[in-house]
Amino acid sequence: MNKVTSTNWLYNKTFDLVFILSPPFLAVLFVLLFAESFAATDILPLWAWVVFVLCIDVSHVYSTLFRTYFNKKEFSENKTLYTVLPLGIFFIGVILHMIGAPVFWRVLAYSAVFHFIRQQYGFLRLYSRNDNESTLSRRIDALLLYTSTLYPIIYWHVNLPRNFRWFTDGDFFIGLPSIFEDIFFVFYLGLILIYLVKEIRNFYLQRNFNLAKNLIVFGTALSWYVGIVLLNGDMIFTITNVVTHGIPYISLVWVYGKKQADTDSSVLILEQFQYKVFFSKFSFPIFILALLVIGYIEEGLWAGFVWREHLEVFGPFANLPVIRAKDTLSWVVPLLTLPQATHYALDGFIWKIRDSESYWYKLFFK
């Protein structure tokens, strides 16, 4: 009998489909419906900045706190890493900014690209963790996932300048020959064909279809292609980029925290309070609200000390003294970006399977 794999859900089918698997498709549908008006928008409107940058992008960074510093067991087992890593990142940031602000933002931009790509690969592995597939099949999956993100980045570098940026103007290198784009495009199309043949063959032989895995693969490919290659607008890129990345990440952290707290709430810093407020059955909105509050404070400091933008949203921070001195900025900017940069670095560690006794392994891979 034909079967859709259902054993790979992280929380349950409804939650996963709504909060982890559908965001790329919903983002693409949204930008395609309003592509003409979005393309005519040179500057991200205030409402869009609040919704997509503040409420999703900035907030998702702080969800890592609940996976690391607000988790008693995780912090005690990795205290040295969680203490030394931010300090190292901060001082490296200061040195880079002293060399030049463009250098600092360029390094941060490429770190972000790597982080965004690796997250999608991580979801691919999660949603195929119970599949009985060959090594070759898994490598094809991974290769297509990586190519579906790398091809748009290559296209971006070949076709600079674009009407959007990652952080600041000039944070990507320019001058990449167009031959790279041509080669990657042919390779990309070939991989898509190979992947489709593989999936059809597997379905024919095993009568099994991993819906979640395929939604990750094609959702990633669709959102990156539409947001970077097909359309050329700041608002379009922001929506497809941020929604595809931020909402699933926040959801994954909450699912992990919920499962871990259900198993043993003593792992939480505030134990029963933290469990009841953030990780009870209907606490997901409260969890998001907490992230919004922390994100609001960070962006308020940026608005007050550095950018002097969106002060109508950050009224409590409007009277902060603006910092102009380059030497002072070389300390302030790395400090304000420290949560983001630490999030990038820690994310490469906290989701790895370190041993069979870790909650991460027990909750999702056992």
What is the structure's pLDDT at 4?
A: 52
Model confidence at 361: pLDDT above 80: no
CA–CA distance, 4 with 19 (Å, rounded to integer): 19
pLDDT digits (tens, 9 = 90+) for 202-214: 898 888 899 999 9
Model confidence at 6: pLDDT above 70: no
pLDDT digits (tens, 9 = 90+) for 48-86: 999 999 999 999 999 999 999 998 888 988 999 999 999
What is the structure's pLDDT at 1?
A: 41
CA–CA distance, 99 with 262 (Å, rounded to integer): 48
For a pLDDT cut of 70, what percent of the chain falls above it?
96
Residue 8 · residue 128 · CB < 8 Å: yes
CA–CA distance, 17 with 9 (Å, rounded to integer): 9
For a pLDDT cut of 90, what percent of the chain falls above it?
75
Q: SS3 of 278, please?
A: helix
What is the structure's pLDDT at 2?
A: 46
**DSSP letter for each residue of 153-201:** HHHHHHT-S-S--SSSTT-S-----HHHHHHHHHHHHHHHHHHHHHHHH
pLDDT digits (tens, 9 = 90+) for 76-106: 889 999 999 999 999 999 999 999 999 999 9
Pick from 23-27, 42-46, 164-168, 231-235 the range whose average pLDDT is largest. 23-27
Residues 6+ apart with CB under 8 A from 144: 191, 192, 194, 195, 217, 221
- What number is the average pLDDT over the span 313-336? 96
Looking at every residue in the chain, the average pLDDT score rounds to: 92
**DSSP, res 309:** -
What is the structure's pLDDT at 3?
A: 52
- What number is the average pLDDT over the span 262-267? 85
What count of Cα atoms within 13 Å lies in the side-chain half-sphere of residue 204? 6
Query: One-letter amino acid identity for 231?
Result: L
Query: One-letter amino acid identity for 340?
Result: Q
pLDDT digits (tens, 9 = 90+) for 135-177: 999 999 999 999 999 999 999 999 998 999 999 988 998 878 9
The model's pTM: 0.93
For 217-270, give the secondary structure using H, E and C.
HHHHHHHHHHHHHHCCCHHHHHHHHHHHHHHHHHHHHHHHHHHHHHHCHHHECC
Q: Please choose, from the candidates 66, 24, 39, the residue with its C-alpha nearest in 3D space to the C-alpha of residue 222.
A: 24
Residue 57 · residue 242 · CB < 8 Å: yes
CA–CA distance, 225 with 152 (Å, rounded to integer): 6
Other Cβ atoms within 10 Å of 255 Cβ, number: 22
Furthest-apart CA atoms within the chain: distance in Å: 69
Q: SS3 of 209, please?
A: strand
- What number is the average pLDDT over the span 210-237? 96
Model confidence at 5: pLDDT above 80: no
